[in-house]
């Protein structure tokens, strides 16, 4: 780590979407014999993330009934039709300043690994002294997920309208955004359709590591 001061991190896993194009809740997609959302819990814990917040929507009961949420905090987005930004806001609002920064982590990103999270954590440890507040993994020059946001900088996210996205904040604050190159092309992968799900499983192969 780049800093001697302990850093308290949270992961906000965004799983309130309707999964319309997938045809079933993406949180429950099989990933190595377990629900995909449990895979994210495992990666987060292996990376040393103390707090795991999960934001669910209309499929909350079905998802909670088929996955192990032990050790996590579940929040419900009663209006998921307002878009992913509304889930971000619910998750970020739940955190106090005992948490330094939070990963904003869509549930449909199955290929994120512990080294990716550590790269973002280390960039945060050094970059926050230079007033960097948003840290985004990149591969081959393209930006991926999850991004890490300083909790002291959450207000711009809380002020977003339902028709806006996190990109609105990123584009408005370029001097406070740090791109963090990682080796894992999986940070660019999300699965919205059955075809993308099958492609992601093939990409994982035997390298589906934490």
CA distance 29 to 204: 14
Question: Going by DSSP bridges, is the β-strand pair 177-181/147-150 parallel, antiparallel, or unpaired?
Answer: unpaired
Q: How far apart are the first and last CA of the chain?
A: 19
pLDDT of residue 50: 87
Q: Write phi, then psi, for 16 (nearest 5 degrees).
A: -100, 0
pTM (two decimals)? 0.93
- Go through the domains of the chain in sequence order and give each one's CATH number: 9-204 (3.90.550.10)
Q: Apex CA 87: angle with CA 41 and CA 177, to 5°? A: 85
Burial grade of 16 (CB within 10 A; 0-12, 13-18, 19 or more): buried
- pLDDT averaged over consecutive 10-residue blocks of the chain (210 residues)? 74 93 94 95 96 96 96 96 93 95 96 97 90 96 97 96 93 96 96 94 73
Count the Cβ atoms, other than its own, within 10 Å of residue 119.
20
Per-residue pLDDT of 6-20, as tens digits, reads 899 999 999 999 888
């Amino acid at each position: 780590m780049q800093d001697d001061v302990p850093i308290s991190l949270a992961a906000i896993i965004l799983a309130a979407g309707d999964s319309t194009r997938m045809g079933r809740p993406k949180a429950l997609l099989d990933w190595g014999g377990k629900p995909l959302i449990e895979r994210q819990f495992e990666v987060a814990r292996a990376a040393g993330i103390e707090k795991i917040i999960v934001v669910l929507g209309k499929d909350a009961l079905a998802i909670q009934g088929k996955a192990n949420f032990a050790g996590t905090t579940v929040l419900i987005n009663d209006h998921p039709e307002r878009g992913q930004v509304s889930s971000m806001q619910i998750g970020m609002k739940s955190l106090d300043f005992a948490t330094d920064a939070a990963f904003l982590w869509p549930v449909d990103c199955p290929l994120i690994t512990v080294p990716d999270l550590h790269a973002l954590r280390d960039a945060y440890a050094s970059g926050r002294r230079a007033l960097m507040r948003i840290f985004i993994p990149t591969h081959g020059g393209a930006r991926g997920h999850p991004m890490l946001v300083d909790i002291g900088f959450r207000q711009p996210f809380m002020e977003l309208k339902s028709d806006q996205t996190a990109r609105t904040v990123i584009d408005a604050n370029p001097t406070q955004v740090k791109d963090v190159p990682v080796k894992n092309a999986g940070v660019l992968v999300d699965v919205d359709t059955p075809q993308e799900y099958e492609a992601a499983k093939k990409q994982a192969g035997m390298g589906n590591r934490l």
